[in-house]
Amino acid sequence: MKLALNIIIAGAVTLSSGLAMAQTDLSLWYHGAGNEKEKTVLTGIITDFNASQSDWKVNLAEFPQESYNESVVAAALAGKLPDIIDVDGPLMPNWAWSKYLAPLEITDAEVKSLLEGAIGRYDGKIYSIGLWDAAIAMFARKSVLEKHSIRIPTLDKPWSFDEFNKAIATLAADKSFEYPLDLGLAWKGEWYSYAFGPLLQSMGGDLMDPSKSSAEDVLNSDEAIAFGKWWQSLFTNKLVPGTSQDGADRETGFVDGKYALQWNGNWAALGALEKFGDDLLFLPAPDMGNGPKIGASSWQFGVSGSSKNQKGGNDFIRFAMQDKYLAAFSDATGLIPATKTATSMTTNYKEGGPLNVFFDLSKKQATKRVSTPAYNVVTLEFEKALADIANGADVADTLDAAADAINTDLKKNNNYK
């Protein structure tokens, strides 16, 4: 009897493992190695997905963010891309163009509730989907603004360019602060395009015009030169810390009361809230003439072009788009969940939650960075131009040089056709 039972159990085990064998393996690469909270949520989604159907089995491989992009490029050169790839929003067109990514089968109807910043579109197709977005705001203190009788701007009526400059000038006169405004130039790399590109767009310029495949008269247009002159004046008048700002000052300067205003992302919001509580304000971006704008688009999921299991990859991304997972990610990382319905399930973004304002900021002001396969060159040139102008380089010549460098790259790549 016992023997028979054993045989039955053994048979059942073999059968179930046989079932498991029928699942096709899908590899998933993720950029967040080292972040335990993120990993817990992601492995949770993967476990749920693997258990929910019998066709696919997703396996996770994690990489440190600093070397993630290089790992993907190296894998692509070796022809060993995983099935599902995690990609930084603005870099997606480059990977789509180079066929690292395939267009998703997910349709517009399926993503209509998502924040636009979480949808990766290129060439009229959807290539990647984000489970969250990030947003930037002007961190300020109510008491400080009231003391100097500066109007508190709202989403519907943000500061005008004049008001913004006057606010900085007024706060500059308050000697209890080292600087009236901190833009965070200690953060190198993508921060420049993400945080300051929208300010340039708000002034009527941009990084380039993808439809014309040219940066001429866009990055060095009269509007862009006006932006550059304003940018330079911030540094010559010592209104903001320069490119050699200490990283530690960037992290704690606002909380320590060194800076009156700080241009910062929602990821830094909780720390500041802890210190200032109700006194803390997250102000919308100023309208510098062409509408108020902040950056959009964070890390997103796509399916690799070489994957033989396109359907499996798409199924996984669809599965991960459920509100409960968006909420779980938001709770773990502090980032903005990609749908309105998911916000109500989070601690920070629900109605009345401390960071709720960021969802509206994202919805109302978010502007994507220019969508072009040349992005990796465009963003490097923009960063260099802003840093050089901040350090006293001639504005028009520097922007000309950046526009030329971008156009040379476009020409070398046959306009990325």
Partner 1 sequence: MANSKPKNQNKVGWLMALPASGLIFLFLIVPFLLAFWFSFTNQRLISPNPTEFVGWSNFSSLIGVGTLTVEPEKDAEGKTVIKPNGDIQYPRMRKFTRNNPDYEHLKGMREWFSFPLSNDRKWVVLARDKLFMKALVNTILFVLIVAPLQGAFALLLALMINQKLPGINIFRTIYFMPVVISIVVVSILWRFIYDGENGLLNAMLSFFSFGLFEPVDWLGNSSTALGSIMVMSIWQGVGFHMIIWLSGLQTISGSLYEAAALEGATRWQTFRYVTWPGLKNTAVLIMVVITMQAFALFAQVDVMTRGGPVDSTQTLVFQSVQRGYEKQDIAGGSAIAVVLFLIVLSISLIQRFLTRDRT
Q: Which residues bind partner 1 (CB under 8 A)?
A: 73, 76-77, 94, 97-100, 188, 242-244, 246, 376-377, 380, 384, 387-388, 391-393, 396-397, 400-401, 404, 408-409, 412-414
- Shortest distance (Å) from residue 400 CB to partner 1: 6
* In the complex, least distance from residue 378 CB atom to partner 1, rounded to whole angstroms: 10
**Torsion over CA: 373, 376, 378, 379 (sign):** positive
248 burial level (CB within 10 Å; 0-12, 13-18, 19+): exposed
- The least CB distance from residue 404 to partner 1, in Å, is 5
Using the minimum distance from each CB to partner 1, give the nearer residue, 80 or 99: 99
Residue number, 33 or 73, with CB nearest to partner 1: 73
DSSP letter for each residue of 119-140: EEEETTEEEEE-SEE--EEEEE
Which helix or strand (DSSP H or E) is residue 196 part of? helix 191-202
Read out DSSP for 33-89? TT-HHHHHHHHHHHHHHHHH-SSEEEEEEE--HHHHHHHHHHHHHTT---SEEEEEG
The distance from CA 200 to its chain's CA centroid, rounded to whole angstroms, is: 17
Name the residue nearer to partner 1 (CB basis): 188 or 324. 188
Q: Which residues pair with 291 in a beta bridge?
A: none
By beta-carbon proximity to partner 1, the closer residue of 345 and 387 is 387
DSSP bridge partners of 114: 339
* Nearest distance, CB of residue 185 and partner 1, angstroms: 10
Q: At its nearest, how many Å lie between partner 1 and the CB of residue 177?
A: 15
d(CA 288, CA 203) in angstroms, rounded, equals 5
For residue 60, what are the β-bridge partners? 28
Cβ-based nearer residue to partner 1, 258 or 368: 258
Helix (H, G, I), strand (E, B) or coil at 6: helix
The residue among 202 and 245 lying less far from partner 1, judged by its C-beta, is: 245
Closest approach of partner 1 to the CB of residue 190, in Å: 12
**Shortest Cβ 22–partner 1 spacing (Å):** 35
Whether 115 and 362 have beta carbons less than 8 Å apart is answered as yes
Residue bearing tokens 């899908």: 26
Q: For residues 135 and 198, what is the distance between their CA atoms, to the nearest angstrom?
A: 12
Query: What is the CA angle 200-206-209, rounded to 5?
Result: 175
Q: Shortest approach of partner 1 to residue 393 CB, angstroms?
A: 5
Considering the complex, state which of residue 62 and residue 388 has its C-beta at the smaller distance from partner 1: 388
| Residue 373 Cα distances to 245, 310, 368, angstroms | 31, 22, 14
Smallest distance, partner 1 to C-beta of residue 17, A: 40
Q: 15 Cβ partners below 8 Å, 6+ apart?
A: none
Q: What is the 3-state secondary structure (H, E, C) of 288-336?
A: CCCCCCEECCCEEEEEECCCCCHHHHHHHHHHHCCHHHHHHHHHHHCCE
Nearest CB to partner 1, comparing residues 326 and 386: 386
Question: In terms of CB distance, is 186 or 317 closer to partner 1?
Answer: 186
* Beta-bridge partners for 54: none
Residue with tokens 């909780």: 270
Q: Which is nearer to partner 1, 59 or 67 (CB)?
A: 67
Phi first, then psi, for residue 240 (nearest 5°) are: -135, 150
The distance of closest approach from Cβ of residue 213 to partner 1 in the complex, given in angstroms and rounded to an integer, is 15
